[in-house]
Structure 1
Amino acid sequence: MRDSIMQQLAQARTPQDSIPLMYHLLDLSAGNTKGEEISRKLIETAHSIQEYDVELDAIRLYSNTVLSNDSLLSLCLSKALRVPQSNNRSETITFIGINRTSLSIRTTSESEKAKALQELISTYKQGQTGNIYEEILQLYTLCLYLAHSTTGDLYTQYLEKLKILIDQLPQDGRKAIPTLYYTQLSIIYTRNNEYEKAIKATKETLKIIHRLEAEYKKQGRIYRNYDVSYYNCYRRILSNYRALSTEEVEDYYQKIQEIAKRNSSAKKDFATSKRPQLYYMMATHQYAKAMPILKETYEQGKKTGLQMQYLQYMIEAAKALNNYNTLLQATLEYNTLLEEYNKVKAAEKYKELQILYDVNELRAQNSQLTMEQQQAKIEWSRTILRITFIAITILICLLTVALWLYYRSRRLARRLQHSKQKLQSEQQVLLQTQKDLVIARDQAESANRLKTLFIQNMSHEIRTPLNAIVGFSQVMAENSKGDLKDEMSTYAEMISSNSELLLTLVGDVLDIAKMESGEITLKQQLCSVNTVCNMAITSVKHRIRPEVKMYFKTDIKTDYTLFTDPTRLEQVLINFLNNAAKFTHKGEIVLSYEIDNTSQKIIFSVTDTGIGVPADKAEVIFDRFEKLDTFTQGTGLGLHICRLIARMLKGDVKLDTSYTQGARFLFIHPLR
C-alpha cells in the first residue's frame, strides 16, 4: 500500500494533489522514523500553497515525534510563528511551549525548580493577561513544575483551574491541548484513588478522539488509525473498575479484546503487560485466575510505578483465597511501601506548605515594596522643593570650589614635577641595586659550587690516607708477636674506629652539601625490607657496648617488598642505630617496622634503653649541628640528614615522645 501511494505522490501534478497522499503516508508511518521526514515535507508543501491549517497540523504531528530534542522543538516553534495569526496558530505555539517546558524541567536543579515555582505562583496570582492561550501556557507550566514537587491537593487544585481555561478554548483552537490535559488529569486522579474523576477525564479524551476521527474521515484520511488511543483509554478506564458497574466492566474489557485482535501494538501490550486481564479479573472477583498473573507481572509493576496497586490486588486476592502465606508476604511489602508512600506524601505536603508560605512571603514583600515606593514618591516631591532652593546655593559653592581647585591644581602640578624627578633618581638607584644583587647572587652561587667541589675533593683526599692508615695499622697488629699483639690489636681497632668516625663526618658533610644543592637523585626500586634492616644491624653491631643487645624484630610474618631507594633507607636506619649505640650503655637496641594500611605508610622504629631525649627537644635534635651532649662524639649532622632523606622520600622522621624508657626514633615512609 505504501509503495502504491508513493507512486501516486510521484505522479501528483500540484501541491494540492500531494497533500492527501502525504497524509496517507503519514498515517501509515505512525510510530516509525519515516513519519518525521514526511511531516517535514508536508509542512513545507502546505506553507508553499498557504494551507496554514494543514501546516499547523503537520507541525504538531512532527513536534510529537521530537519531544526529547529541544532544538527541533524550537524549529517547530519558528515554523509556527511564520503562520498568520489564528486560534489554530495560538494553540500550536502553546502546545509546543508546553512540550519544551516539560523537556527543560528534566534538566533543571531542585533549587532552580523551587525558585521558578515561587515566581510562577506569584505571577499567576497577580491576575489574567487577557490572552487565554498565554494564561493556559502559564498555568500549564505551573502545573508541570508542581508535578515534580507534589501530586497532592495543591497540584489538583491548579489542574482543575486549568480545566476551566481549557473549556473556554474556541472550537478552531482546541485540537491538541485538551487531549494532553485530560490524559494527565486522568493519571493523577487514578493515582490519588479518585476513580470517578479519573473515568470522567478519560471519557473526555474519548470524546476528543471520536471528534478527531470523524473529522479526519470527512477529510478522506482513511488510513488514520486510533486503535492504540482507544486501547489506552479503555485500559485506563478499566483500571478504575471500582467506580464501574458489572456491565461497564464487561463492555470495556470486550472492546479491549477486540482492539488487541486487530492491532499488533495493542496485541503485544495485551500479551506482555496483562494489565487489562488483571483489571478484569479483579473487577469480576476471579481471584484464582488473577493470582498467577499478579505474581508474574509484579516485577513489571515495580518498573511502571504500579507496585502498590499490584500489592493491593494481591492482598485482596489472597484474602479471598485464604492464601495466608501470600497474604502475609504481600501485606509486609505493602506496609513497607505504604510507609515510604506516606513519607513521600508528608514531604509533598510539606513542600506545598513551604511553597504557599514562600509565595505569601513574596507577596508580602511585594506589598511592602509598593508601599515603600509610594512613600518614596511623596518624599521625592518634598525633596524637589528642597533641591530647587538648594541648587542656587550649591552652584555658588561649586564656583568657589572650582576656583580654589584651579589654584590648588597648579600647586600640585609643581609638586608632581618635583616628585617625578625624585622618583627617577630613586629608580636609577634601584636599578643599580638590582645589578649589584644579581652580581652578589652569581658570586654566591659560584661560591656554593666551589664549596661543594672543595668538599668532594677533600672527601676523596681524606678517604685515601685514612684507608691507608687503617690498612697499615691492621697489618702491624697482625705481624706483632707475643704480648704486643693484643696491645697492637687494640690500637688498630681504635685507629679503625676513629678513622671510620672521621669518614662518617666527611660523608655527612658531603651528603648535606649535595642534598641542599639538589645534586642527589633517588634510585628507587623494589627491595626487601627485612634485608635492608638486617644490613643496617650488621653495619652498626660492632659499635655497641658489651652490655647492650642489638637485634631486628618484626611482627610481619612475610618479608615485605617496598618501592624506595634502599641505600638511603639503610642510611637513615644506620644513623638511628649509631645514635642509639652512642647513648645506650646497657639494655637493648631494637630495630622494627610495622605497616599501617589505613594511612598507607610503613613505620620503622629504633628503640633503645639509653639516656633518652627530653620532650621539649623533640624537634631541635633534627636541626643541623645540634647536639644535646657536647662531650659525645659526633657532629650533630646524622639526624638532620635523616630528615632530609625522609623528605626526599615523601616521608618524615620524628621522636616518639610517648616512650620514656629511653629513646624511640620513627621513620614514616609511604607505601607507594
Structure 2
Amino acid sequence: MKKSLWTLLAVGWMAASSATPPAHLVDSLKSACQSEPDARKRVDILLNLKDLNDSSEDELYYSRKLFDEAAAVGDGFAVGASLGSLASYYISSPGAGDSLARILAQAEPLMRGSGMEGLGAYYRMVELARRIQVAGAEESARLCREYIDSVRTLPPGDVYEEASRLFLKGIAAFRLVSAEGNLQMERGLPFWNDELALLGRMRPTARRNFHANLITCLIAAYSSLEDQSGLVHAADGYLAMLDEYYRDPEIVRRRPYISKEMSYLVCYYSMCTSPLLDERNLQAYYERYRRFADSAAADAGNLLTNRQGFYTISAEYYNRRGDYPRALAYLDSLTVQLRPGGVTSQLVAISANKAKILERMGRYKEACGVYNEVVGLRDSLSSHRYAEKVGELEVQYGLDKAERDKALLLAQKRQNSLYFALTILLLAVIAVVYLWRNLLRIKHLQHNLSVESQRAQESERLKRDFMGSMSHEIRTPLNAISGFAELIAGEDLTEEERREFAQIIRDNTQLFTSLINDMLEVSQLDNTSAEMPRKLLDISKIIRAEMEHLPVKEGVEYRLELAAPEIVFPLHRSYVSLLVRELLKNAVKFTEQGSVTVECGLTGPDTLTLSVTDTGCGVEPGLAEKIFDRFYKGDPFAQGLGLGLSLCRLIVEKLGGTIALDTSYTGGARFVVTLRDA
C-alpha cells in the first residue's frame, strides 16, 4: 500500500513536470500585463499567467506577484488562487513555517466570503500532516499525540476547522498504529468518512482541495480492507465533485487556463491499476479515463496533449491485465516522448519495467538487452545490480558466456569512466575554488589600495583646504591687530577713536582665539576614543547662559522655547555648552533679518531633542550632509575655517547622539540634535 501511494506521487511529478504553457500565449499575456494600467485587470492577467505557468520554473514568480497585486486591490479569489504554489514552497522549505503563518494571516481576511474561503485552514492542515509524515517513527508518534491532546478541549470550529481536525485525527490514528510496525490505513477511515460528510458545506476550491487530500487516504484505506464497493463509491464521488468544480461559473470565467488533469489523474491512475477491482470495474474505469483523455478537458499544450499521463496509465493498465504487447507499445510511446529530454530516473524506470515485461513474456534475450541499456543509463549507480541480473538471466536460460562477460565488462568500464570523470571534476572544482579565493584576495587588496588612495587624496585635499583657510583666516585678525595696534600708539587720535580701535583689536583677538580653540577642540575629539563622562544637568540653564552672550543684531530676534522650566538629562557640561554655542554662532552668522529660535525638550523617557532654527539663507537639500564635512564652507568668502558644524557633529557623536539638517524646513535652516541616555 505504501508503495502504491509513492507511485501516485511519482505519476503526479511526471505529469506536472511535462506541462509546458504555449509560448505565444504567455508572451502575449506578459506584454498585456506590462501595459495594463488598471490594477484589477492586471490581476486577471496575472491569474492567467500563473495558471499557464503551473509547474514551470516561473510558477513561484507569478504566484508571488499575483498575491501581492491581488492583496493590494482586495481580490480574495485571486489571492486564494496564488496560495497553492506559495504554500507548497513554504511547507517544503525547512524553517519557513513562520512565513506560511504570516502569508495565511494576510490572506484569510481577504478570502473570507469569496470562493477561496477555507484555504487557510486547509494549508495549515497540510503543513502539520507533512511534518507527521516525514518525521521518524518516534517523532511522528509524539506529534500525533500532541495534536490529539491539543484538540480535545478546543470548542467547535467552522466547517473548515472541523474538517481539518477530522483529517488529522485519521492520520494520527493510523500513524500511531504504524509506529508499532503495522500499516493500517483503515484505522483512519471513521474520521475520514465524517470529514467527507462535511465537504458539501464548503466553498468550491476548499472543497476540491480537502477532497483531493482525502481521496488518496480513502483509496489506500479501502484497498487495505479489500472493500471494492467502498473504493468505487469513494472514487465516483471524487470524480463527480471535480466535474462540478470545473463547471463552476466563477472558475470558468476567471481561470480559463487552470490545469485540470492532475486532479483527475491521481484517481484514475489508482483505479485503472488497482489489484482490488474486478475485470468489469477495471475496464469501466479505463474506458472512462480514455474518454476523459480525448475530451476537451485536455487543454492545448498541457498534460494530456503530450500524452505522457495517458501512456503511463495505459501501460500500467494493460500490464495489470496481462496484455503485455499493448503494455510494451505504450511504454515505447512513453520512451519516445521522454527521450528528447535526456536521461532521467523516469526513463530508467520505464526501461526497467519494460525489461520485466519482456521477462514475463519469455523474451529473455530482449530482456537482457534492455537490462544492458538500463546499466548504461544508470552508469555506476546501479550497474552492479543490473549486471548481476544479466548474469542470472544468461546462466538460467543458457545465453552465451561471452555476451555475459561483455555486458559485465561494459558495466565495469562505465563505472571506471565515471570514477575518472568524478576525479577530474573534483580536481577542477578544487582548482576553481583555489583560483576564486586568490581572485577574491586580489580584489580585496585592490579595494583596500583604492580606499587608501582615496583617503590619501582626501587627506591631501583637506591639508590644502586647511592651509588655505589658515593662511587667510589667521592672517586677517593678526593683520587687524597689528595694524590697529600701530594706529592706537599714535598721539594724534581722539579718545573715541582710541576706544574704537581698542574694540577692534579685542574683537579680532577674540576671533583669533576662537579659531585656535576650534582647531584644538577638533583635534582633541579626534584623538579621544573613550566616551565622555556625563552627569545630570539642567540644559535649560546652559542654553540661557549661551544666549545671553549672543551679540545684539539689528532686525534679528532671539527666542527660547523650552518644553519645561527645567530639563534635566545626563550631559557633559563643557561640550554641550560648546555645541549650543557653535549652533547659535552659525545661525546668527547667516541670519540678517527675522529670528533665531532654540527649542529643547524630552521626547521620551531617555531621549532629549534640541533644535536651532533660523530665518537666514538656508541650505540646499543636496548639501545636507556635505555641510558637516571638515573645512567645508558654503560661501568660500565667509569668515571662519568651516569647522563649526563639523565640531558639532563630533561632539554629538561622542555623546552617542545624532545631528542633522531638517530638509523639510524651508524658511532658513534648522539643525536638530537628538541625544539618548546611554
TM range (shorter): 0.3 to 0.5
> Scaled by the length of structure 1, what TM-score is found?
0.39
Larger radius of gyration: 1
Give the structure, 1 or 2, with the largest relative contact order (CA under 8 Å, sep 6 or more): 2
